[in-house]
Structures are given as C-alpha cells and as structure tokens.
Amino acid sequence: MRADARRNLDKIVEAAAAVMAERGVGVPMEAIARRAGVGVGTLYRRFPDRNALIAAIGEHYVHSLAEALREAAENAPDAWSGLRGFVLWAVNPGRAALATALAELPDETFLDMAEFAVTRRRWLEGLDELVRRAQAEGGMRADVDTEDVVSLMNLFVCHPADLPAHVAAQPVRFLHLMLDGMQASAATRLPGDPAEDAPRV
C-alpha cells in the first residue's frame, strides 16, 4: 500500500466519523469524501459500501469507549460518579457517535472482524459491571439497568441533526438531567417493572 493511500484511508475514517456524528449515519457519501478532501472514487475503492465504513469507524469507536470506561472505573472515587463521568464523556458530540448504527448492522458485516466483536462484548460487560457496582454502593437507583444507560447514550448520540434545536445546542444539559434522574436519590416508581406491571390474572 502506497503511503498516500494509507494517509487517505485515515483521513476518510476520521472524516466519516466526524460527519456521521454531526449529520447521522445516513449522510451522503459525497459529504464524507468532501470532508476528507478526497474524491468519492477513493472512498468507494476502500469501502465497498456504507456498512463497511460504519464497521471501520465502529472499531475505533468501541476501542475508545472501552478505554474510557476502564479509566473511569479505575480512577473515579465511586462507581456512580465514574459511570456519570463516562457517559458525559462518551456523549460528547466531538466523539464518533455510532452505537445505534453499529447495533443495527447485519452480522455479515463483521465476518472478518472477530476482534471487534470481542471488544464490543467486553465493553458491554464492563459497563454492566460498573452499573451493578454503582447500584450496590447505593449511588444509582436499582430499577435502571445497563440497557437503559446504553439507550440514554444513543438517544443523544445517534441523530444529532434531528434533535430539537435547543437540545442539540446543549446536549450536556439534558444528559445531566437524565443522569440526575438515574441517581438513587431521585427514585420514584418507574413503569416497566415486570413485578409491578404484570397483568393481574
């Protein structure tokens, strides 16, 4: 692989991550190419379709998530503030924002990316562990689960262009509100609790 080709590849992945974070995963290929400063031809030579591109970005993304999570879990004074800090970091619009798109990608896309799947699973497990710990320590309400946390992240992260203007302007503000709602001290009864909402026979 020639040196310039290599450089372009990096520029493309970086640009795609940025543009998709800004305008959603469905952004025109040409917009990505333009941002990367290359022609669409170059883009297509490297990535036969959008999914390949998403998968490539996802790989970077998940790695950085895993890294940040590890760091948060280790350095925070307690599990809940670690979790809070991690989510705030991860949703920063500057980071690539692809969790939902990744989740929706057909499995075939990852055929030759075994390592990626492993990292992803490990990340989810790490998050789950941190959540449980935060709950055990009493910082986080017990009726919220890991999947809720992931959804919360996705809510702000996946289609920034479609968010109401005020939310898009300061997503961090709303993130704080949500996180505050996840605190143990905020707990009210949440719907969807199987024990409570089961149909009475």
Partner DNA sequence: CCTAAGCGGAAGCTCGGATTCCGGTTGGCT
Partner DNA sequence: AGCCAACCGGAATCCGAGCTTCCGCTTAGG
Site residues (CB under 7 A) for DNA?
Answer: 1-5, 8, 26, 28-30, 37-42, 44-45, 49-50
Number of neighbours of residue 191 by Cβ within 10 angstroms: 7
Among a second copy, DNA, none, residue 73 binds (CB under 5-8 Å by kind)? none
Q: In which element (H, E) is residue 149 found?
A: helix 146-157
Query: In angstroms, what is the minimal distance from the CB of 181 to a second copy?
Result: 3
Q: What are the CA-CA distances from residue 9 to residues 20, 53, 61, 168 (Å)? A: 16, 11, 16, 30
CA distance 22 to 42: 22
Closest to a second copy by CB, 40 or 168: 168
User: What residues from 133 to 162 belong to the interface with a second copy (CB under 8 A)?
Assistant: 144, 147-148, 150-152, 154-155, 158-159, 162
Instruction: Report the amino acid identity of residue 109.
Output: T
Site string for a second copy, 82-121 (x = CB under 8 A): ------------------x--x------------------
Closest to DNA by CB, 38 or 87: 38
Task: Dig out the tokens for 57 from the structure.
Answer: 């970005």
Residue 68 interacts with a second copy (CB under 8 A): yes or no: no
**Is the CB of 1 or the CB of 201 nearer to DNA?**
1
Tokens of 107: 């499995």
Q: Select 51 or 119, whichever has its Cβ closest to DNA.
A: 51
Q: What is the 3-state secondary structure (H, E, C) of 28-77?
A: CHHHHHHHHCCCHHHHHHHCCCHHHHHHHHHHHHHHHHHHHHHHHHHHCC
- Residue 73 or 187: the one with the smaller Cβ distance to a second copy is 187
In the three-class reduction of DSSP (H, G, I as helix; E, B as strand; rest coil), residue 200 is classed as coil
Binding residues (CB under 8 A) for a second copy: these are 100, 103, 144, 147-148, 150-152, 154-155, 158-159, 162-167, 170, 172-174, 176-183, 185-188, 190-192
